Amino acid sequence: MVAVPESSPASSAASSASHGAAGPLSEISLRGRKVLVTGASSGIGEAVARAAALAGARVAVLARRVDRLTALAEEIDGVAVAADVTDHEAVAEAVAAAADRLDGLDALVNSAGITRPGLLADTDPAAWRMLFDVNVVGLLAVTRAALPHLLAASAPSVVNVSSMSGRRVAGPASGAYAATKFAVHALGEALRMELQPRGLRVTTVAPGFVRTGIADGEPESPFREQLAARLAEEGLPPTEIARAVLHVLALPAEVTVVEYAVMPTAQRDHGFLEPPSS
């Protein structure tokens, strides 16, 4: 059995979903489910993979970092399928391999994502392209590859991990990132309209600040320093987002959660990244 660390009793969240998600992760059962999690080598994706395995699911994990992915798969007795979500051919092969190893898929959790904070005038357009390639097109590529397997399953689910930045623009330096997350929200709605008549549930999970390493790979800048500091000071542990995802996946087949928005009580909802004063 996989040990998933619980968050401290002091942590709290403002959530738009049911209080039924508030119990211990060990009380949620996904026994018999076959779950593919992207972005699983760290952060929210890793926490979801660990929690799903603890809940009894068979789990496949997809990410770029082979060493971390392999170690996680060994720890949770899961399946590692390494791929960069911007490489669509590799994604198709990885999803097919995951479905083959798990003997099908009935849930997909799209958790791969990056951020590139910065003002419009100061940002290399290549950063915008990478944001959309990973956060939007990568999500579409994985979902498209998984659909035949999901639609062959009983009560399948797709959970897209978006952001509170998909619900509002929190500051001028987060505009491009927010645009990708608005797109994730829109695509979730479109996928739900397309696929819910075929029995596939689609949910968008929108976290606020979460204590992950999402800022670690960013170039040095005042915005990166602000982001890293606020994630460390105000962010929820990734296990709280994993709890939300498992709550959604464990609901009866006749119940669809359209959106689950959750943020730290301590988070200031505006002025996400302020321009440095001159």
d(CA 135, CA 2) in angstroms, rounded, equals 29
d(CA 167, CA 182) in angstroms, rounded, equals 7
Q: Using one digit for the tens of pLDDT, what is the confidence trace for 8-42?
A: 333 333 333 333 444 566 689 999 999 999 999 99
Q: Over 70: is that where the pLDDT of 113 sits?
A: yes
Measured torsion, CA atoms of residues 190, 194, 200, 206, in degrees rounded to the nearest 10:
0
Q: Using one digit for the tens of pLDDT, what is the confidence trace for 241-262?
A: 999 999 999 999 999 999 999 9
Of 128, 177, 223, 260, catalytic: 177
Q: Provide the terminal-to-terminal Cα distance of the chain, rounded to the nearest Å.
A: 54
pLDDT for res 118:
81
Is 177 among the catalytic positions? yes
Structure tokens at 166: 């998909």
Q: Over 80: is that where the pLDDT of 89 sits?
A: yes
Hey, is 91 helix, strand or coil?
Answer: helix
Contact 147, 99 (CB under 8 A): no
pLDDT for res 178:
94
Among the residue ranges 32-36, 88-92, 118-122, the one predicted with the least confidence is 118-122
Helix (H) or strand (E) holding 202: strand 201-207
- Angle (nearest 5°) at CA 16 between 12 and 18: 85
Q: How far is CA 197 from the centre of its chain?
A: 24
Residue count (the chain): 278
Contact 189, 206 (CB under 8 A): no
> Average of pLDDT values for 67-91?
97
Among the residue ranges 75-79, 261-265, 269-273, the one predicted with the least confidence is 269-273
At residue 181 the predicted structure's pLDDT band, cuts being 50, 70 and 90, is very high
pLDDT for res 172:
86
Q: What is the DSSP letter of 220?
A: S
Among the residue ranges 37-41, 145-149, 231-235, the one predicted with the least confidence is 231-235
CA distances from residue 216 to 82, 133, 174, 177 in whole angstroms, order as listed:
21, 19, 16, 16
Q: Which of 157, 249, 149, 142 is nearest to 199 (CA)?
A: 157
pLDDT for res 256:
96
Between 118 and 142, where is the model more confident? 142
pLDDT for res 25:
65
Residue 112's contacts (CB-CB under 8 Å, 6 or more residues apart) are 38, 39, 45, 62, 63, 85, 134, 135, 138, 139, 142
Q: Over 80: is that where the pLDDT of 2 sits?
A: no
Cβ-count burial 203-213 (b if 16+ within 10 Å, e if not): bbbbbbbbbbe
> Average of pLDDT values for 226-239?
80
Query: Which residues is 159 bridged to in the sheet?
Result: 109, 203
pLDDT for res 4:
32
Between 122 and 277, where is the model more confident? 122
